Amino acid sequence: MNVGAPQLDVAPRCWTADDLRRSTSWHFSVDVGAQEDAAALVAWSRLPPAAHDPISMLREDSVATPHIDRLAKAIHHEVRRGSGVALVKSHLLADDAFRLVYMKIGLALGAPIETYGRLYEVKDTGVSYRESTAPVSQTRESTGMHTDSSGKHVLPGIIGLACVRSAPRGGSSRLVSAAQVHERLRHKHPRLLARLYGDFVRDVVTPGGDRSPKRVAENRFPVFSYPGRLRLRYMRYWIERGHERVDEPLDAEALDAFDALDAELAAPEHVLAFRMSSKEMLFIDNTLVAHDRDAYEDDPAEPRLMLRLWLAARELETAFTACPECGAPWDLHWAYVWEGGERKRKYNTCGWLRDQLEAKWLDVS
């Protein structure tokens, strides 16, 4: 059974937890040059009018930051063309520089989606998302594997998470490749995978949004889709609550499909778990990587605090959109494979495109 996204496109984006543990391609750090850029950002932030609210005032061209820009380009490539994950260590930055560098990298990756503000504080407010309309990000509960945003017309392509303070216990990040899960479902449960390409209602949880049954009923879209690249949009709780609110019970096949998806999302061999420490930044592709966090316990004196960025992803410019020899999209001529713990780029089929791209490597990578 042919299901949704073509395997040739999806398979190169697959990874397991062991794949990423063996790799360093998704690890980055703020080097000496970027620290000099950070000093320039701090100096700019102390001058009027930026001094009033530098995070809100900062634009991509506010300050020349060539080293940060190069770092952001490498991060973008890994997030949108590679594993979908980038962890950035910046432990030497002061607090004000840390936030500014994080925001500057974000601006280079895409346009901020400011539904919740630019840098949204992820912290426990003492409520339960199951007993209120509070977003999960304002609780200390485990969220379950999901992608961000339950709004049909609000889709962050990239999510950033910056650690200001970690929790003394719990709160570890957990990531899973949506491509890996998709291909396991294609192999084991093709009928259920096909069901996940159908539309499902999501509850509306955006603060101040129209939460009427009519509005909720319109807020429906697939779990998996393929608008030219694989896309996962999933949080089971909001789907089940959305269907309850519009009185459209989920059928047995849909529930079986969610169970199969949840099982693959929770499979230990798929889940990369790690603990973020202060002054680390994480960027993920919100359409190709599902995420979760462990429940945590706070230190009341220094509660856990993360800063979230939602970004409309900016796509890389490519030298070619299609092969003039065979007409296929140029992305279909290559694949990532794992060798010795590192991702290697390899070509297949059309030699014409291979020869052209080798001469223009930096333009397309």
Distance in angstroms (rounded) separating the CA atoms of residues 56 and 340: 43
- Residue 351's alpha-carbon distances to 229, 238, 333, 355, in angstroms, are 24, 47, 9, 6
In this structure, the number of other CB atoms found within 10 A of the CB of residue 269 comes to 11
Classify each residue of 106-140 as buried b or exposed e, where b means 16 or more C-beta atoms within 10 Å of its C-beta. Answer: bbbbbebbeeeebbbebbbeeeebeeeebbbbbbb
Mean pLDDT estimate for the chain? 86
Q: Work out the pLDDT band at 224, boundaries 50, 70, 90.
A: very high
Residue that has been written with the tokens 């789907």 in this structure: 239
Tens-place pLDDT, residues 44-96: 999 999 888 999 999 999 999 999 999 999 999 999 999 999 999 999 999 99
Q: Is the pLDDT of residue 199 over 50?
A: yes
Q: What does the pLDDT average to over 318-332?
A: 48
User: pLDDT-derived band of residue 335, with 50, 70 and 90 as boundaries?
Assistant: very low
Contact 64, 38 (CB under 8 A): no
Question: Closest Cα partner for 21 from 234, 255, 270, 192?
Answer: 270
What is the pTM assigned to this prediction? 0.84
Give the span between the Cα atoms of 286 and 358, in whole angstroms: 30
Say which amino acid occupies 204: V
pLDDT digits over 267-313, tens only?
999 999 999 999 999 999 999 999 999 888 888 888 899 999 999 98
3-state secondary structure 210-275: CCCHHHHHHCEEECEECCCCCEECCCHHHHHHHHHHCCCCCCHHHHHHHHHHHHHHHCCCCCEEEC
Whether the CA torsion 56, 60, 63, 68 is positive or negative: it is positive
* Spatial contact of 290 and 147, defined as CB atoms under 8 Å apart: yes
Give the domains, in start order, of the chain with CATH numbers: 7-313 (3.60.130.10), 330-364 (no CATH)
Hey, what are 364's tokens? 């397309």
